Amino acid sequence: MTKFKFKLPLKVVAAIAFFWAGCNADSKHDKTTENAIEQPENSTENMIDQHKFGIPGELRRSDIDTSPILTQMQEAETGSSLSMDLFGDISIQARLIGKSRMVPGVFSYRYEIDEPESGILVISVNGDEMIAQIDLPASNRIFTILPVRETSRHIVVELDPSAMDVLEGGEPIFPADF
């Protein structure tokens, strides 16, 4: 039995389990794009758009190529670095601080973000699918990376922390000693 030094709050574990179980998402267009292409009423794209996550506080979303990220993580050891581009206007550099095997085939990686500012990156990987939470507290920004069910695509979503469904006075999503 492996003992973990790192413990996630129940809210975070529940959110990861919810997203990992599969949700509908689509990102044929970045929500920040003003000239989104309209789809015919009965198109597959329109049907998928009607079943979006509805994530509280979603500011924008876009496709993200996770293959370079997964490649960097394959042989990652504590202290190794990871580079990730988000939306083309944000790049992060992070250092691996811990990894663990959650259940057969599912691995969890915890990174400390060094650039563009101090923060935390938590990634769970199952084969070629991944979910991630990126927290940049100095600029009050949160990003999440999610798989698109029944495809090989992933999306990155920027969230507005002030609009998220968090109880006032509740325990923080990430503990202070994280």
| Cβ-based burial of 153 (10 A; exposed 0-12, middle 13-18, buried ≥19) | middle
Question: What is this structure's pTM?
Answer: 0.63
- Is residue 81 situated within a structural domain? yes
- Is residue 172 situated within a structural domain? no
Long-range own/partner contacts, residues 130-136 (CB < 8 A, 24 or more apart): 130/66, 130/69, 130/70, 130/154, 131/16, 131/19, 131/20, 133/12, 134/84, 134/86, 134/92, 135/173, 135/174
- Is residue 175 situated within a structural domain? no
- Is residue 1 situated within a structural domain? no
| Total structural domains within the chain | 1
- Is residue 53 situated within a structural domain? no
Grouped pLDDT means (10 residues each) for the chain, 178 residues: 44 49 40 39 40 70 89 87 89 93 89 92 92 92 89 89 68 58
Domain that holds residue 85: 59-162
